[in-house]
């Protein structure tokens, strides 16, 4: 019997949602329906779905997040018709040092996850609020937490530990890594696309508004660029990436920035946006670089940091067999990929210009020292698939837990 799985990805001001309907073969890669609520904490919230254009949304100003979730619940009820919802999958950014694999949420698990809010204050609270709200609405409906940090639990200690006093390691201050759901999807996709080549020395470049790299061997994480927080590693759209901590001390000691103000600089007013003064979007910046020196510098640093970190990860893996670009910029911006690979020419990277322009699955030329590819990510599907496996839906009849549209 078919099951519906609702996938939720909750941010500070938006919620992405998707429905997957299982079949005899499990969870299809293509979602049945989905959408997004935007601007939840702003003056003009909106929503759109795969069947409707963007429209204004009236939310309760006293509890806008709860109100947005109720709106999503009502849309799900309408969309499911006579079908039944069997489980909900949540993207939870941080599982700390305790949770790696997806887990069915209980009161004890939820209490644990709240203790990790200081590790991801910009993301963790909103997923937990969604879980809380849905537990109140449907206490018998299985809810599953899928962790963005979980994929990196295979990192060796030398990659996890930070060069701080040992007590920080004991207190959980270490490299956790992020974008794990994207990398988890790559385990499926790259094996299907490239076969045993993917089990070798693979580097995946998840380049979106947030960005990171992951070095894999045998499709397991052995090194990654994001660390204790989502500020490390690559320069991003609005985030610094790796930064001399002395610059932060300067902001706070000399410029007298508060902790909150310094956080805003690091998370929201740096990266491409901060240097260019124009935008955090490479598609906006590229046409402007010839006439704007700040834009040119921003893009040059952005590309340089990606190339440098790929080369650094190649040191860990002792070479590269497969380099894959994914996420918004990685999947769609041929110019950025070209520039990164030009900087990696000394390693033997060679592109096929036509394949690169077409965002083809393989964009390397025949004389490239390693295969270079483009692979769309699908974090929503991997969350639905892991939930399907964990809850055991293939062996369960569809429950009558959530009312159908007619019953509602």
pLDDT in tens, 183-227: 999 999 999 999 999 999 999 999 999 999 999 999 999 999 999
In this prediction, residue 92 carries a pLDDT of 95
Helix (H, G, I), strand (E, B) or coil at 81: coil
List, for residues 27-43, the tens digit of each pLDDT value. 999 999 999 998 888 88
In whole angstroms, how large is the CA radius of gyration of the chain?
22
Confidence of residue 402 (pLDDT cuts 50, 70, 90): very low
Query: String of b and e for 61-74 (b: at least 16 CB within 10 Å)?
Result: eeebbbbbbebbbe
pTM, whole model, 2 decimals?
0.91
Label the pairing between strands 85-92 and 46-49: unpaired
Residue 336 has which token pair?
């950025």
Rounded CA separation 340/301 (Å)? 11
Angle subtended at Cα 138 by Cα 135 and Cα 140, rounded to the nearest 5 degrees: 95
The confidence score (pLDDT) of residue 406 equals 40
| pLDDT for the residue 118 | 83
User: Angle at the Cα of 171 (from 166 to 172), degrees rounded to 5?
Assistant: 100
Tell me which H or E stretch contains 7: strand 4-10
Structural domains of the chain ordered from first start? 4-147+380-395 (3.30.420.40), 196-377 (3.30.420.40)
Which entry of 60, 112, 148, 280 is annotated as an active-site residue?
A: 148
β-strand 143-147 against 85-92: which pairing, if any? parallel
Q: How far apart are CA 8 and CA 216, in angstroms?
A: 27
- Has 148 been annotated as catalytic? yes
267-296: pLDDT as tens digits: 999 999 999 999 999 999 999 999 999 999
The whole-angstrom distance between residue 115's C-alpha and the CA centroid of its chain comes to 21
Question: Kindly report the CA angle at 194 between 188 and 197, in degrees rounded to 5?
Answer: 105
| % of the chain with per-residue pLDDT over 90 | 75
The per-residue pLDDT for 1 is 67
Token output for 7: 């996938």
**Quick one: CA torsion of 332, 338, 340, 342, rounded to 10 degrees?**
170
Residues 351 and 21: their CA atoms lie apart, in Å, by 39
Closest among 193, 103, 88 to 149, alpha carbons compared: 103
Residue 54 has pLDDT above 50, yes or no: yes
Based on DSSP, count helices (H) and strands (E) in the chain, helices before strands: 15, 13
Please report which helix (H) or strand (E) contains residue 34, including its range.
strand 33-38
Taking all residues of the chain, what is their mean pLDDT, rounded to a whole number?
A: 92
The kind and range of the H/E element at 66 are helix 64-80
* Cβ-count burial 218-252 (b if 16+ within 10 Å, e if not): ebbbbbbbbbbbbbbbbbbbbbbbeeeeeebeebe
pLDDT band at 396 (very low <50, low <70, confident <90, very high): low
Per-residue pLDDT tens for 323-342?
A: 999 999 999 999 999 999 99
The H-assigned helical ranges of 142-287 are: 157-160, 166-170, 180-194, 245-253, 259-268, 271-276, 282-285
Element at 355 (helix H, strand E): helix 353-357
Tens of pLDDT, residues 232-245:
999 999 999 999 99
Beta-carbon contacts of 78 under 8 Å, excluding residues fewer than 6 positions away, are 405
Q: Is the pLDDT of residue 403 over 80?
A: no
245 vs 13, residue with greater confidence: 245
């Amino acid at each position: 019997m078919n099951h519906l799985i609702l996938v939720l990805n909750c941010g500070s001001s938006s919620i992405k949602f998707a429905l997957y309907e299982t079949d005899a073969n499990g969870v299809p890669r293509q979602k049945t329906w989905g959408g997004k609520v935007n601007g939840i904490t702003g003056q003009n919230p909106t929503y759109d779905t795969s069947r409707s254009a963007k429209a204004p949304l009236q939310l309760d100003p006293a509890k806008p997040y709860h109100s947005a979730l109720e709106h999503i619940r009502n849309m799900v009820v309408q969309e499911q018709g006579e079908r039944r919802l069997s489980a909900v999958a949540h993207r939870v950014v941080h599982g700390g040092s305790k949770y790696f694999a997806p887990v069915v949420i209980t009161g004890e698990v939820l209490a644990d996850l709240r203790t990790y809010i200081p590790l991801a204050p910009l993301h963790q609270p909103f997923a937990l609020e969604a879980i809380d709200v849905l537990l109140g609405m449907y206490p018998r409906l299985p809810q599953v937490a899928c962790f963005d940090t979980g994929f990196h639990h295979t990192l060796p200690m030398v990659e996890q530990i930070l060069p701080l006093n040992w007590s920080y390691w004991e207190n959980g201050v270490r490299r956790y890594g992020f974008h794990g759901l994207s990398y988890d999807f790559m385990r499926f996709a790259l094996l299907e696309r490239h076969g045993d080549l993917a089990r070798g020395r693979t580097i995946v470049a998840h380049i979106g508004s947030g960005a990171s790299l992951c070095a894999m061997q045998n499709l397991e994480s052995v090194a990654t660029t994001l660390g204790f927080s989502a500020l490390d590693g690559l320069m991003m759209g609005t985030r610094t990436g790796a930064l001399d901590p002395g610059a932060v001390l300067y902001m706070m000691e000399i410029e007298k920035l508060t902790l909150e103000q310094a956080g805003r600089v690091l998370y929201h007013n740096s990266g491409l946006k901060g240097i260019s003064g124009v935008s955090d979007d490479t598609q906006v910046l590229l046409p402007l670089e010839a006439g704007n020196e700040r834009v040119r510098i921003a893009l040059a640093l952005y590309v340089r940091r990606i190339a440098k970190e790929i080369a650094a990860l190649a040191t860990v893996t002792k070479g590269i067999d497969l380099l894959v670009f994914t996420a918004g910029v990685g999947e769609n911006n041929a110019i950025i990929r070209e520039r990164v690979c030009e900087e990696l020419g000394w390693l033997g990277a060679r592109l096929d210009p036509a394949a690169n322009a077409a965002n083809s699955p393989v964009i390397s030329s025949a004389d490239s020292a390693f295969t270079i590819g483009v692979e769309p990510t699908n974090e929503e599907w991997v969350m639905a698939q892991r939930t399907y496996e964990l809850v055991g839906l293939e062996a369960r009849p569809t429950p009558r837990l959530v009312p159908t549209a007619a019953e509602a």
